[in-house]
Structure 1
């Protein structure tokens, strides 16, 4: 398996019941996560933006206070961000994509694309795929929860 994927509706609970973020609010949340993933993803302990580009940015993240990795983040059509992994031999890309489910609710899909080396490692060692799936599968709900909690800050001004 070379692609792992998870999709969740971007919905949470508040005093008034369920609240659903619209695609623009989710996009604003993804922009914040690209700039600073620390509040969104447990395990990422630091992030520095190294360069800014018209279509995204280059960042360096620190995982668990030790391992550093550079990612080229490319923004596509206010619905897709692709995190190109520049230093990880096993991961090629991580996609964050905004969509809709059958009921019309806004969704967030996290898609992990393994590199050729990652695919080969997964074929040799099934625990690699299992641990990768467990880690990335476990970060989707906290990302959604964080966006829901910061909803007021994600709304367009004006």
Structure 2
């Protein structure tokens, strides 16, 4: 399954939204890479097993299930998470990129690639819309958590 959508971060016409800078968005994405617990419900802990300037290898512990993923950082632009396939997890990838479609408007683009099939004839097809909806809700929550991080940084 390929699934892509955007979540609006800054909307100049909406005075109820406090604008975030690209730097604040990037810092929030780095937080998701370094400490994903606030972003991933059910995650008990994360161990970073390797790192260099632009990559992390992490073990994500969900109870007895451990998912290894590889995080690639493109500073101020995007973060890509690629999880390895195991007997308990199908594997896949998520790329989150910061985009600026117009002056003062920022969005995050979420692009998922999974092994879940979208063809009607496939046995997984009834779950596709449910999974897309869950991803979208999770991504809105990601922006909410990034806003909380930015607000806490401002107040300190």
What is the distance in 2 between the residues matched to 1:34 and 1:77? 12
Give me the TM-score of the superposition, normalised by structure 1: 0.79
Cα distance per residue 1:61-81 (max 9 Å; x no partner): 123x33210000001242111
Report the RMSD for the aligned CA atoms in angstroms.
2.6
1:7-86 to structure 2, matched below 5 A, reads 7-11=6-10, 17-63=16-62, 65-86=63-84
The Cα of 1:57 is off from its aligned counterpart by 0.4
Aligned partner of residue 143 in structure 1, secondary structure: helix
- How many residues are matched? 148
The Cα of 1:141 is off from its aligned counterpart by 1.2
Aligned partner of residue 136 in structure 2, secondary structure: helix
Structure (1 or 2) with the greater strand fraction: 1
- Given that 2:117 and 2:125 are in contact with CA atoms closer than 8 Å, whether structure 1 keeps it comes out as no
1:101-112 to structure 2, matched below 5 A, reads 101-102=101-102, 104-112=104-112
Where does the alignment leave 5 or more consecutive residues of structure 2 unmatched?
Answer: none
Give me the TM-score of the superposition, normalised by structure 2: 0.80
- Given that 2:117 and 2:124 are in contact with CA atoms closer than 8 Å, whether structure 1 keeps it comes out as no
- Given that 2:54 and 2:72 are in contact with CA atoms closer than 8 Å, whether structure 1 keeps it comes out as yes
What is the distance in 2 between the residues matched to 1:113 and 1:29? 22
What is the distance in 2 between the residues matched to 1:126 and 1:52? 37
The Cα of 1:41 is off from its aligned counterpart by 2.5
What is the distance in 1 between the residues matched to 2:90 and 2:117? 7
